[in-house]
Structure 1
Amino acid sequence: MSVLRGYRVPQSRADIGEKDIDAVVRTLRSGWLTSGPSVLEFERAFSDYMGGGRAGGQCCLRHCRADHCHEGVGRRSGG
């Protein structure tokens, strides 16, 4: 018998303001969804929040892409 039987996850309305919506629209219109200025801005802000330093500011997307390239993911055959 599950201990969580009958437990309900509390729901709440998301707090998304116009500033958030504008940032999403600006990113979508830029054409840069997984890299570019928004990612660099996020990395800087995250690094500052974590107390600075290189480790806090490196986005995992960059590392994942490097790992995929190293493993040959995305390479075309014969190339």
Structure 2
Amino acid sequence: MGKFDRFNELHGLINQAMELVVRARSGEIDNNEALDGIWELLVSLDYELQLIEREHRESLIHKLLLRRIVLVKN
């Protein structure tokens, strides 16, 4: 998944949470139902952010290892 796809997915999750708040404030859905939905969205956001963090960390480690290999060869 590309960087922009991942950001769009995160943005979509945030928009869904905001929509739940609006629906709860307008009385369209029960507050507890909104909180449950927001909780699920936060769990999804947390998971996606952990994936991004792990990918970033692995990328940095890979770059450092490549740099070290180049330095050793020279």
TM-score (norm 2): 0.35
> Higher relative contact order at CA 8 Å, sep ≥6: structure 1 or structure 2?
2
What is the TM-score normalised by the length of structure 1?
0.34
- Larger helix share, 1 or 2: 2
